[in-house]
Amino acid sequence: MRLSDKTRKAVEALLPVIAGTRRALITVHRDPDTDAIGSALAWAGFLSQRGIESTIWAADPLEPYLRWLPGVPRVQTDFDSSVDYDSIWFLDCASMERVRQYERLLPWVGKRPIINIDHHEDNSRFGDHIVVETISSVGEFLVGIAEILNFQITPEIATCLYAAISFDTGRFLYSNTTAHTFDAAATLVRTGISPGELGTQMFESVPAAGFAVLNLALSRMVIEPERRLAYTSLPKGTGPESIKVVDFVRQLEGADVVVVFREQDDGIVRVNLRSKGDVVVNTVAHYFGGGGHAKAAGITLPGPLDTVMVSVLARLRETLDAR
């Protein structure tokens, strides 16, 4: 895998941090996805090869679709803050604030190395060690980092990293997929893991209830052909989104931007934005305090659903009409 010289130097600078660590705390962004959790589990696996004991902390309980990942019971919604961690690792976090309850980590800032390993182009470059490159996924990044640091990719780690890459690239379909992504995937598959089995596990194991949610989402879909925009929404009480609705909606021909609004039972509305063309959607997300990538971004806002839809769609239509 080819990483820039600057990144390579930043990775090599992690060697003394690793050597000086006995206990590590690893954390990821709020509402963690497969890239976040898969990468955290892989990183804990790598560190254990150097005799390091890791705590993986994500305050949000894991969504059911993540629970098949090997080692997932290691992920804790709480951690013992009286433990004197030697280093704090942030994976897949564009900023420190992206971590749910990040305030709990502030006591370590300036006292212990803070390491920022991420792939978001809007990364705020926080921490003492900034290992950031625009690349498909943290999963892909860790394959390159493992090579530099001589970590061994076991089949278990490979499963976590393959899942991470496959998730963030939409099964190697999105525009973030490069030749290097396939190189990394090939490295992982050579450990003996099966893309077919993992594909079934990740993308063809949707509980029947998920189809009811999809059915509702499709029945509420609105298309604005002149703007090349499509969106839909799921009201409170719909149940867990065990199927990624936005991945279906984006299949629509002629849609440059698609949006899914989902009102959670606590009244919070989650907005998923995707772009298939040149429209940059994270600028719209930033406007509302969200973030993400140029072509895949998210916003979390207090409800109600209708109000959020009106304001986000207004902003988005302005962006689209300005083209």
Q: Which residues contact Mn ion (rule: CB under 5 A)? A: 35, 92, 168
Distances in whole angstroms, Cα of residue 141 to Cα of each of 11, 94, 145, 146, 148:
11, 15, 6, 9, 11
Q: Which C-beta is closer to Mn ion: that of 33 or that of 241?
A: 33
The single residue listed with the structure tokens 């589990």 is: 41
Q: Which is nearer to Mn ion, 45 or 298 (CB)?
A: 298
- Judged by CB, which is closer to Mn ion: 39, or 319? 39
Residue type, 287: Y
Shortest Cβ 66–Mn ion spacing (Å):
13
CB of 301 to Mn ion, least distance (A): 21
At 55, phi and psi to the nearest 5? -110, 125
Q: Residue 151 CB, nearest distance to Mn ion (Å)?
A: 20
Q: What is the largest CA-CA distance in the chain?
A: 58
Alpha helices per DSSP H over the chain: 5-12, 14-19, 34-48, 138-149, 155-168, 179-189, 195-203, 208-219, 245-249, 282-287, 305-321
Closer to Mn ion by CB, 94 or 249: give it.
94
Residue with smaller CB distance to Mn ion, 181 or 232: 181
Question: By Cβ distance, which residue is nearest to Mn ion?
Answer: 35
CB of 248 to Mn ion, least distance (A): 20
CB of 60 to Mn ion, least distance (A): 15
Return the percent helix, strand and coil in the chain, to nearest 5.
40, 20, 40
CB under 8 Å to 302, separation ≥6 — which residues? 267, 268, 269
Give, in order, the Cα–Cα distances in Å from 133 to each of 3, 15, 59, 94, 211. 8, 19, 26, 11, 36
Distance of closest approach, residue 52 Cβ to Mn ion, in angstroms: 23
User: E strands along 5-157, which residues?
Assistant: 23-28, 53-57, 75-76, 87-91, 114-118, 129-132
Q: Which is nearer to Mn ion, 86 or 168 (CB)?
A: 168
Shortest CB 215 distance to Mn ion, Å: 29
Nearer to Mn ion, 92 or 263 (CB): 92
108/172 with CB nearer Mn ion: 172
Peptide bond preceding 304 in cis form (omega within 30 of 0): yes
DSSP 61: P
Half-sphere exposure for 304 (CA within 13 Å, toward CB): 2
CA–CA distance, 239 with 230 (Å, rounded to integer): 22
